[in-house]
Structure 1
Amino acid sequence: MFRFYTEIPDTYSIFGHEFKVDLSFGTVINLLRMIHDESLSIQGRIDYALVFIFGNDKDTKAFFKTLDYETKLAIYKDIYEQGISLPETKENGGQRDILGNLLDQDEDDGPAYSLDYDSSAIFASFMQAYHIDLEQVRHTLHWQKFNALLSGLPEGTKFAQIMKYRHMDTSQIQDSQEKAYYERLKAQYALPDQYKEGL
């Protein structure tokens, strides 16, 4: 969980060795995309995840070669739980395991947005609300800060409008024309099924 009054750690200690970690939102998004790649073995995904987080310089690579799979899995799980996983919310679809799979998901539940599918709306909204060019800060803005800003986007931004339409309960609208209008918008901005399991 992001707390503005505490410093976000940028190192991680393993058996007395300190390593720099990269949890910028660009790195984490690419990591989460890779972690969903079922063409890779789970062991392969964990190995790649650690490369995303710690880099692949000669010394780091040599150190991680000395670790067994269970140790590497424990390291990834700890970093995921401390720095990557988000609090369970309706918007992000609920609690996920370390491979990003939804846990205890009801059939009708799921994430309200996709970082891939809604990428343009998110980019435009950050520019509009915060004057932040996400492409320029993808390797410097921490994942937790990115999510805090994303959840705080104000009404009037494209992303907030899309979320409003997706969450709208049209059954409460009495006027038939107004109801039909918002149902069209809800359908227009609905998140396609293929984006509900991944990013």
Structure 2
Amino acid sequence: MLSLTATVREHLQNELGFVPNLSFDRVLRLYELMDDSETSDEEKALGAYQLFFRLPDDPNDVHLERLEAILKYVQKRPYQSNSNSENAAGANTDTRRFFSFTEDSEAIFTSFLMLGIDLETKIGQWPWDKFQAVFYNLPEDTPFAKIVSIRQQNPAEMQGREQAELMKMQAAYALPENRSVKGQDDSMEGLFKMMMANAD
């Protein structure tokens, strides 16, 4: 997450002990990779590693612990130290279930554009931390925030025409199974466990 007392480079050095290229587009390519059903787990593992490191000639020089640190770092969310956190009523407050960087890409792009930020011009330049800082604070009137709000609402709390309209909207904006960021994060965790098992 973004630090107000250090540069992004300094913050990464403090958090990870090294400074990888964590431009937002590189991290989003990692999320896209997790969604690719035609790519094997082995190919995903290799692709994830190559997003951040040059593949060494000697397999013994592969630094899986550094990849693990990156995967954990990019999954950190502001205001949510525990991804499985619950509110006082016992309801799961994990918002990752309600959006996908891949499926919602157009709404995200348009929402940033409404703030005067053209993400295409930021490719290769904007750090993941800066992207996240804006992303998780997008105003409620942006397309992305409206879509997430629709997905989060409970039709059982409504009646009649209002309920029918919400259900119609939820069907229109429904995410394919396991295509949410929660599903992608779970895939990353499973992928890393597989890599560590194969390395033993």
TM-score exceeds 0.5? yes
Does the CA contact (< 8 Å) of 2:9 and 2:19 recur in 1? no
Q: State the partner residue of 2:136.
A: 151
Is 2:136 aligned against 1:136? no
Change (3 A) 1:36 1:179: closer
| The one of 90, 108, 112 aligned to 1:122 | 108
Shift of 1:155: 1.3
Q: Does 1:172 align with 2:162?
A: no
**Greater helix fraction, Structure 1 or Structure 2:** 2
Corresponding residue pairs, total:
168
Q: Is the Cα–Cα contact under 8 Å of residues 35 and 179 in structure 2 kept in the other structure?
A: no
Q: Which has the higher strand share?
A: 1
Aligned to 1:26: 25
Q: CA deviation at 1:195?
A: 1.8
CA RMSD in angstroms comes to: 3.4
TM-score, normalised to structure 1, is: 0.69
Matched, 1:186 2:170: yes
SS of equivalent to 2:103: coil
Q: Report if the CA contact (8 A) 1:123-1:133 is conserved.
A: yes
Asked if structure 1 preserves the Cα contact closer than 8 Å seen for 2:31 and 2:101, the reply is: no
Deviation sequence 1:98-148 (CA, Å, 0-9, x none): xxxxxxxx9xx96211111100000000001x2111111121111122122
Tell me which residue corresponds to 1:74: 65
What's the counterpart of residue 198 of structure 1?
184
The TM-score with structure 2 as length reference comes to 0.68
Structure 1 residue ranges without an equivalent (≥5)? 13-17, 96-105
Q: Percentage identity across aligned positions?
A: 27
CA 1:53–1:158: 2 relative to 1, 3 Å: same
Unaligned 5+ residue runs, structure 2?
85-91, 186-200
Matches within 5 A, 1:19-98: 21-34=20-33, 38-41=39-42, 45-54=44-53, 56=54, 64-66=56-58, 68=60, 72-81=63-72, 83-87=73-77, 94=83
Q: Is the 8 A contact 1:35 1:49 kept in 2?
A: no
